[in-house]
């Protein structure tokens, strides 16, 4: 006993990034947050849901295109092809890191939902002005706009710009909503609980993205796939 002593629970308010990529995402997000957001209220975000939904559904075609063996998930080799085709200028190590970051269930495959999160993280990272190769492009302009809306929403919610949305920040965002609808507030809190996987009271950008893929009904689409 006593051999396994994790430091994780000792960090009081912020969770510490556990991987190099996670640290980079956090750093990039903080820099992006210093630029501000175009979101005016929580309602502005809610109103964007249908558009985000449409945008994310377009990822399906990209996903299918890169799932070369039609296995329903993208393996490391397929992801490599995908990045080369989309001219995403990541090194092999970076591709490997983002694969591991987004392969949540660790089955060595990127499922559709994981793929959306992956593309959005790529969008965030490649906009990093410190990046040596900002030239990558994803060809699909509305998709870029959708990802930017998601980044912008996160920036709006993260009031103190530390790269995490805390429970109290979520409450604050809801309270700023002019209409003050109680029900939407309750729903938002429920959503927050859903987002906060490790229940540490903080939601990072990746958790936020995964929640979005649920909220906007991506999952439903898979069920509807009937002949």
Binding site for Ca ion (CB under 5 A): 67, 69, 71, 103, 105, 107, 109, 111, 158, 160, 162, 164
* CA gap 167, 173 in Å, rounded: 10
Separation of alpha carbons 219 and 173, rounded Å: 27
Shorter beta-carbon distance to Ca ion: residue 36 or 50: 36
Q: Are 212 and 150 in contact (CB under 8 A)?
A: yes
Residue closer to Ca ion, measured from CB, 65 or 135: 65
Of residues 147 and 164, the one with the C-beta less far from Ca ion: 164
Q: How far is the CB of 110 from Ca ion (least distance, A)?
A: 6
Q: Which is nearer to Ca ion, 64 or 142 (CB)?
A: 64
CB of 68 to Ca ion, least distance (A): 6
| Residue where the block lists tokens 């540490």 | 200
Provide, rounded to whole angstroms, the least separation between the CB of residue 156 and Ca ion: 11
Q: Which is nearer to Ca ion, 101 or 146 (CB)?
A: 101
Query: The dihedral of CA 107, 112, 117, 118: what is its sign?
Result: positive
Bridge partners (DSSP) of residue 202 are 166
Residue 107, token pair as written in the block: 């089955």
In total, the chain counts a number of residues equal to: 227
Q: What is the DSSP letter of 110?
A: B
Q: Where are the beta strands (DSSP E) in 8-167?
A: 165-166
In the bound complex, what is the minimum distance in angstroms from residue 149's beta carbon to Ca ion?
19
Residue nearest to Ca ion (CB): 71
**Angle of helix 20-33 relative to helix 205-215, nearest 10 degrees?**
80
The least CB distance from residue 88 to Ca ion, in Å, is: 18
């Amino acid at each position: 006993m006593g051999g396994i002593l994790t430091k994780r629970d000792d960090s009081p308010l912020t969770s510490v990034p556990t991987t190099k990529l996670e640290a980079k995402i956090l750093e990039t997000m903080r820099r992006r947050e210093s630029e501000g957001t175009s979101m005016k209220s929580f309602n502005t975000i809610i109103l964007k849901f249908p558009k985000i939904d449409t945008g994310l559904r377009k990822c399906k075609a990209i996903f299918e295109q890169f799932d070369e063996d039609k296995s329903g998930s993208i393996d490391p080799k397929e992801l490599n092809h995908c990045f080369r085709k989309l001219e995403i200028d990541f090194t092999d190590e970076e591709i490997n890191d983002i694969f591991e970051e987004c392969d949540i269930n660790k089955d060595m495959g990127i499922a559709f939902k994981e793929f959306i999160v992956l593309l959005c993280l790529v969008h965030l990272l490649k906009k990093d002005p410190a990046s040596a190769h900002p030239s990558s492009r994803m060809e699909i302009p509305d998709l870029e706009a959708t990802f930017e809306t998601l980044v912008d929403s996160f920036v709006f919610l993260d009031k103190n710009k530390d790269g995490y949305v805390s429970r109290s920040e979520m409450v604050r965002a809801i309270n700023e909503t002019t209409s003050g609808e109680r029900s939407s507030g309750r729903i938002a809190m429920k959503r927050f609980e859903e987002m906060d996987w490790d229940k540490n009271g903080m939601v990072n950008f990746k958790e936020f993205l995964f929640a979005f893929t649920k909220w906007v009904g991506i999952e439903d689409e898979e069920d509807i796939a009937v002949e």
